[in-house]
């Protein structure tokens, strides 16, 4: 126990700063650059966000828009469909002792590396000093705060809120995430990273980000509204999920991870039930990239320590390098929890809780990996869980191999109706 505690403290000291609500760490910095008012761009953008751990506080209510480099030619009709080129992104990670004033230009623009966000929208610009970014004017077909009505608050946390809003003219629902920036600089770095990942991600299995704005000390983000809430919400109502439905859910999550790992070179690092959102159409989407790591190369290895502890892989708890397979461990733990209705690691004493946080971490590292009870589940499901939660990441299967696993293929021909399943259970967030 003492060794685990010492290891944990050593890991935390190696970070530049810590975030209390998500236990994530990073730093933020800003390079001074003159900026003209920015415009916003239409079209779908993927965005990760967990309503269960949305930030607390009342913030300026602004909508959000995403803009790419002015060198990319687009027309409004193409942007409506979410098509077009996506620029390469860069993210600066300087020291953590930079004051918040360094993040703002004289024009009131929030800036980090090549990310610019102000009241007119979000934009990625080149750092090439030989090119001066041209002025971008707002488009007529874009979302604006004046065009939406607030229905209710659907999430709160320590830095802002998430609201359910409805477009006045189309009746479409959105989730409006408002984040105050009078918070730790490390969290501001998190926000900048989230926006960049959203700008570069387009996948039907990742929550869509439509627009983003910075104004009056707050960044606001218009997200796809997932009216079923999170998988964690769903589990509270059903307790456990039968194998056929779980296979259909798992297949969508795997497709999202395949996209993140092999197309975007992103490790999610915080995969858990509350970061998997569902809706009445039977869709399951990955959200909350606040702790995601965008890899500069395709090596797939990281040595930083962020994420939610319960679902962390052993190599991450030990402070070792980790790669895409750390998300596979988390997937296995999530699927086993959904199947059994309880977290796979039980405290030493029945009926009692974990005596300390370090005791849980020690159990994940030292105990044999959890398994699905063979008397309750099919051999295929037991095999799938085993393929995900091997202690050595080299022994875990990749997303591509797992997509062909018998557990998933045996239920494909059944044409499981997740839409009917989710809708029948109902949701406190439902608009249907």
Residues marked as catalytic: 270
Largest alpha-carbon pair distance within the chain? 67
216, two tokens: 């009056």
**Torsion 37-41-42-48 (CA) sign:** negative
Who's near 130: CB < 8 A, 6+ residues apart?
A: none
d(CA 225, CA 113): 29
d(CA 282, CA 396): 28
d(CA 311, CA 316): 10
DSSP 59-94: ------BEE--TTS---HHHHHTT-S----------
88 is in an annotated binding site: no
Burial of 262 (0-12, 13-18, 19+ CB in 10 A): middle
The dihedral region occupied by 405, where left means phi > 0, alpha psi between -120 and 50, and beta the remainder, is: beta
370, two tokens: 């959890």
Beta strands in 168-275 (DSSP E): 173-180, 208-215, 218-224, 266-267
d(CA 152, CA 73): 38
The annotated binding site for ATP is made up of: 177
The annotated binding site is made up of: 177
């Amino acid at each position: 126990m003492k060794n685990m505690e010492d290891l944990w403290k050593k890991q935390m000291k190696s970070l530049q700063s810590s975030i209390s609500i998500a236990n994530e760490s990073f730093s933020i910095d800003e390079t001074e650059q003159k900026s003209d008012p920015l415009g916003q761009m239409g079209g779908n953008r993927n965005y990760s966000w967990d309503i269960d751990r949305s930030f607390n506080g009342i913030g300026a209510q602004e909508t959000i828009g995403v803009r790419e480099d002015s060198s990319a030619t687009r027309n409004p009709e193409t942007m409506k469909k979410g098509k077009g080129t996506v620029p390469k992104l860069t993210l600066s990670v300087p020291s953590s002792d930079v004051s918040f004033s360094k993040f703002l230009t004289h024009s009131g623009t929030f800036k980090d590396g090549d990310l610019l966000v102000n009241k007119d929208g979000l934009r990625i610009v080149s750092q090439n000093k030989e090119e001066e970014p041209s002025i971008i004017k707002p488009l007529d077909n874009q979302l604006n705060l004046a065009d939406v009505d607030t229905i209710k608050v659907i999430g709160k946390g320590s830095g802002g809120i998430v609201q359910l809003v409805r477009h006045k003219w189309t009746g479409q629902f959105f989730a409006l995430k408002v984040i105050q920036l009078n918070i730790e600089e490390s969290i501001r770095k998190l926000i900048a990273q989230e926006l960049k990942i959203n700008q570069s991600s387009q996948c039907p299995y990742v929550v869509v980000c439509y627009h983003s704005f910075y104004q009056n000390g707050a960044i606001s983000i218009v997200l796809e509204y997932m009216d079923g809430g999170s998988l964690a919400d769903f589990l509270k109502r059903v307790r456990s999920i039968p194998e056929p439905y779980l296979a259909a859910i798992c297949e969508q999550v795997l497709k999202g991870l395949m996209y993140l790992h092999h197309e975007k070179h992103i490790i999610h690092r915080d995969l858990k039930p509350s970061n998997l959102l569902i809706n009445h159409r039977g869709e399951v989407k990955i959200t909350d990239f606040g702790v995601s790591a965008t890899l500069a190369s395709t090596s797939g290895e990281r040595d930083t320590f962020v994420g939610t502890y319960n679902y962390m892989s052993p190599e991450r708890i030990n402070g070792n390098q980790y790669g895409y397979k750390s998300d596979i461990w988390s997937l296995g733990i999530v699927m086993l929890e959904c199947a059994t209705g309880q977290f796979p690691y039980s405290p030493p004493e029945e009926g009692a809780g974990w005596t300390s946080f370090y005791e849980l971490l020690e159990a994940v590292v030292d105990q044999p990996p959890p398994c699905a009870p063979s008397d309750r589940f099919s051999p295929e499901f037991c095999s799938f869980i085993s393929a995900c939660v091997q202690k050595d990441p080299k022994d875990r299967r990749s997303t591509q191999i797992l997509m062909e696993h018998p557990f998933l293929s045996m239920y494909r021909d059944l044409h499981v109706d997740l839409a009917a399943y989710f809708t029948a259970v109902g949701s406190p967030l439902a608009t249907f």
